[in-house]
Amino acid sequence: MKAAIISVGTELLFGQITNTNSVYLSQQLNTLGFDVMYHFTVGDNPARLRKMIETAYEDCSLVVTTGGLGPTQDDLTKETVTAALGDETILDSEALNRIKKAFAKMNREMSANNEKQAYLPSRAEIFYNDAGTAPGFALEDGGRTAICLPGPPREMKMMFERQAKPYLESRSDGKIRYRMIRTFGIGESSLETAVLDLIDGQTDPTLATYAKDGECALRVASKRATAEEASQAVDDMVELVKERVGGYVYSCDNEDLCEAVARKLIEENISISCAESCTGGLFAEMLTKTPGVSAVFDRGIVTYSNRSKTDELGVKESTLEKYGAVSVETAAEMARGLKAKTGSRLCVSITGIAGPGGGSAEKPAGTFCTCVIFDEKEELREVRHRNVDRNVNRNYFMLYMMNMVYRVIS
């Protein structure tokens, strides 16, 4: 079934915000088996929105809108969609109650224009909003379906996940389940080659690869008569994929690498400290994004200057002179010094050249050395990453460290 996504909001046309709703909805709709044909963005203007809705229905049977459901005069998505699908809005008492309650909870007066949000299409299935005040809905007319969701990403995602997705699934002739396998250290084309016969060999489950910021993901999706059958088919395929490329896999459930590492450290109560040079605190920062990591993360030392490497971590001046700040010898002394100082079970270090300057013929920008010590075990690596962008390099360096930590504690 073909689908179009319409984003409503003048701020998008001014370039004031980035349209992340379309990215999320595209992924979700593709997974549910829809072919997304178009993204349209239009301002808070009923005539142009109507034009987009009609253009979309020329090819598509599903239109998903985001934005324009709020209480102000500008917010006209609901009215426009309702008219396009030949319905009219009526007061929904449940919606009104919920809006009243939300205002009472915030100790704020409910202004009259908020009542507008409780007028909803008479034939619609209403999606009450668990994260805000504006309700959404699904409305059908003949073979055409419209799903209207709020604009704020958090509200939109919660409503899609809890209400729009089950709605779409209930109208499907099967149940779709999927899992996202995340890998690090293998390129997209190598990943594809490794599973090519699985991709070519069958139509369900389907496999698709995605490259993203230095890593690769593989989506396995299945549509079967029941959710159990679809889940089983996906799980079986995930096992087959793991047999091929398991050494690169760090999550079969779409977990972020940094979160996966933080969660594992917390679960197994492994204390960790880090010493960073070229990544400038990025490793510590990514690790501490996960709540609760304070139970295991002791400290991070960003030793940017040579002096700080000596002061903080006991790196020998002779090592810096003989091998240079970017060397496996320096990385090893950084991690060992950190271990001696903190006693953390896991100590990790990195030193490198993020670029664009600072490289040499022997050690070009993109070179980094990293050391992981876990209890008595020590791993040491020198790696070259050829990207020219300083911050792309820094991100890759950090992911590489994160992955080494993941491997050593798995």
Within 141-200, which residues bind a second copy (CB under 8 A)?
A: none
Question: Contact between 25 and a second copy (CB under 8 A)?
Answer: yes
Distance CA 182, CA 261 (A): 13
Among 97, 294, 384, 386, interactor with a second copy by CB under 8 A: 294
Q: In degrees rounded to 5, what are phi and psi of residue 377?
A: -85, 135
Among 22, 77, 222, 403, interactor with a second copy by CB under 8 A: 22
Distance CA 275, CA 227 (A): 46
Question: Contact between 303 and a second copy (CB under 8 A)?
Answer: yes
Nearer to a second copy, 302 or 328 (CB): 302
Of residues 336-355, those binding a second copy (CB under 8 A): 341-342, 355
Among 207, 287, 335, 399, interactor with a second copy by CB under 8 A: 287
Per CB under 8 A, the segment of 107-115, 172-180, 367-375, 390-398 that binds a second copy is: 390-398
Among 76, 245, 260, 301, interactor with a second copy by CB under 8 A: 301
Among 178, 248, 297, 400, interactor with a second copy by CB under 8 A: 297
Query: What residue type is 381 in one-letter code?
Result: R
Of residues 57-86, those binding a second copy (CB under 8 A): 59
Question: Contact between 392 and a second copy (CB under 8 A)?
Answer: no
Among 171, 299, 322, 386, interactor with a second copy by CB under 8 A: 299
DSSP β-bridge partners for residue 382: 369
DSSP result, 246-266 = GGGEEESS---HHHHHHHHHH
Least separation, in Å, of the C-beta of 14 and a second copy? 6
| Sheet with 206-212: strands ordered across | 206-212, 215-224, 175-184, 249-251
Nearer to a second copy, 95 or 373 (CB): 373
Query: What residue type is 240 in one-letter code?
Result: L
Residue with tokens 């995340």: 182
Per CB under 8 A, the segment of 91-99, 100-108, 295-303, 401-409 that binds a second copy is: 295-303
Question: Contact between 210 and a second copy (CB under 8 A)?
Answer: yes
Distance CA 223, CA 386 (A): 40
Question: Which are the contacts of 381, defined by CB distance < 8 A and separation ≥ 6?
Answer: 328, 369, 370, 371, 404
Instruction: Classify strands 346-352 and 367-374 as parallel, antiparallel or unpaired.
Output: antiparallel
Question: Contact between 323 and a second copy (CB under 8 A)?
Answer: no
